[in-house]
Structure 1
Amino acid sequence: MKELIHNISQCTICKAHLPLGPRPVATAHINSKIVIIGQAPGTKVHQSGISWDDQSGKKLRQWLNVTDEQFYNTENFAIIPMGFCYPGKAKTGDLPPRPECAPQWHEQLLDKMPNVELVILIGAYAQKYYLKENAKRNLTETVGDYKEYLPTYFPIPHPSPTNRFWRSKNPWFEELVVPELRKKVKEIL
């Protein structure tokens, strides 16, 4: 696993498309129990090199009801974004994750983690990639039907502050789904 993580850290496969250059951010351990698959690092994470080291990460840890120590313990959580590097700025938010990372690295990583009990799919990119034709018409429907994907996958929206509008329109997520997510995480940890 250490060699694979090192190889990922040296990856330059999509260098020509990255406005800030490559800085792959991913963590995993052979004993990881939960895998978090999000979108791609933002500028703050690109600078720090620490996954979810931003407001989105604070909200995610709140949803999971875990401490920073629990979250960053790679034997608890592997963090494997769809795109390992900051993809650049879009009109609203960041560009989509680069499409090269997941096919290049995900299967290799997941194959080295035999103890994974849950994969949390954050946002539409991860959900479409992993759920394929089982994903619903949109993120809201997929998240609403989260029980359909258990025990393997748990789809959730992105915890970004720019996603406040979705959360205010869908209060059922924090009222009904987050408690189930917390319960599942607590059982596994």
Structure 2
Amino acid sequence: MGGTTSTGQSAYPTVRVYAERYCSGVAGLVLIDPWHEDVPAAMVNFFRSNPPARAGLSGEMNDWLNEFHSYVQAYQAGHAPPMMQWDIRAGDQQARSVRPFGKLPVVVVTSRFNMFSGMGEEPTVTYGQRMTQVFATQQTKLLKISSNSRQSFFDLDDPNNKAITETEVEEAAVRAVLDAARRGTPLPRSIPVP
């Protein structure tokens, strides 16, 4: 039995291609806040009805949001530059060609953390909540890559949260994937975090 592949957002397409090519050496996948190839289209639609100026941001966060807005527009137009040294568009094209993984255990860890929550004003926080939901919706599509997949949500700002960290959620997902792979059983309906 192989190991578990764990990934962050930008490396997701590469991991999916790797898992297909070397499936006999992969016990399962834990995708942590992964990028889905439909994110750019979803974000272009989001920005049409929610222009970045409505976020009410300033400084570095405003610059980041405007850069991301420009990036997804360029992506949709077919001429996006590499992002964080990754050719996301090329990776997405490869990921679209990958077949589903059958019963390979796959956990998609999705953060509901609102990156604008500490920015004060209500319009800014609401804008961040809507944007976070777009990403979460796209990540849910990744459940189709395996018939043995689950999505685990967490929000570090949730007052009802059991004081868990992102690392604890990731470790629980890895344990669940390895356990399901070792036993040859389905993943549990929810991923227990100690």
Q: TM-score band, normalised by the shorter chain?
A: 0.3 to 0.5
Larger Rg: 2
Q: TM-score normalised to the size of structure 1?
A: 0.34
